[in-house]
Amino acid sequence: MKYIDLPKLNNPVSRFIFGTAIGPMSGGRGAETLLDAVFAEGVNTFDTARVYGESERCLGKWIKDRGLRDKINIITKGCHHDENGSRVSPEHLIKDVETSLMSLGTDYIDLYLLHRDDISRPAEVMIDALCRLQQQGKILCFGASNWTHSRIAEANSYARDTQQEGFAVSSPGLSAAKRVFDPWGGSVDISGDSEAQEWYAANKIPVLAYSALARGYLSGRIKSGQSPIAVFGPGAPMEYDCAENTERLKKLEREAEENGITVAQAALLWLLRREMTVCPIISPTKADHIRSAAAVFDL
């Protein structure tokens, strides 16, 4: 397993980050055997969020039961919008951090991400609030999810000017397939954004890529030319269903066949070949898929 270092963390971050937005965990049933298998492959970093149902609680229970707190990096996210609108404010941040700490059963969060942005609010107030939480020891390091690179640049410029910590990482959508519409609203995907990718590479800010396998479009289950809904049914990743992505999938299929690897492995290798540092967030739920994904990070 390959790792990267982030400021103020006690452990390096595995390049393979396991995403806990999976049915058993969000539904509160837990996935202890699965998490054991992931950890056995050298994965020490787990991604969750306030809006992932019971995933925080399930992750925290597994960490406590296995006695792994000093070996695990917990990533969680807050300030996601709700039915009442924006929640990107210091008040909502504090509330979400306190709730996450209780749900996870821990007294600190290794890496905290703002889950959404509100461009009507100055980035400065969120940097100030995050730094206060960091000074209190409740979060060790922080970053943003679904913030544009220009907003992150604005936030980090303020942090430098005031001699404070800035966003250490960013977590946008990123995969070898281009997303053609946003199924959730308020999301940021840089798969087809060369300017953003160049900015991350130049500024040496690691990208924790969600939807790294395009929500299953690049998992190998869908063959080029097939409709996602024909394979996955309701909830299929239709935001990737376009002629351009069919061609991208064909290219990955050829690469997989020529090199004796799976399509998913080819898609992960595409991410690791970027000039910027990418840590894919993926959620394999079968032991052989876990081993197959982990093998990419040993190459």
Q: Would the pTM count as exceeding 0.85?
A: yes
The dihedral over CA atoms of 21, 132, 11, 265, expressed in degrees to the nearest 10, equals 30
Token pair, residue 273, equals 């070949």
Residue 51's nearest CA partner among 86, 76, 24 is 76
No. of helices (H) and no. of strands (E), the chain: 11, 10
The dihedral over CA atoms of 262, 38, 167, 203, expressed in degrees to the nearest 10, equals -40
Amino acid 54: pLDDT: 98
The C-alpha atoms of residue 35 and residue 210 are separated, in whole angstroms, by 18
Residue segments in the chain with a per-residue pLDDT below the cut of 70: none
DSSP state, residue 83: T
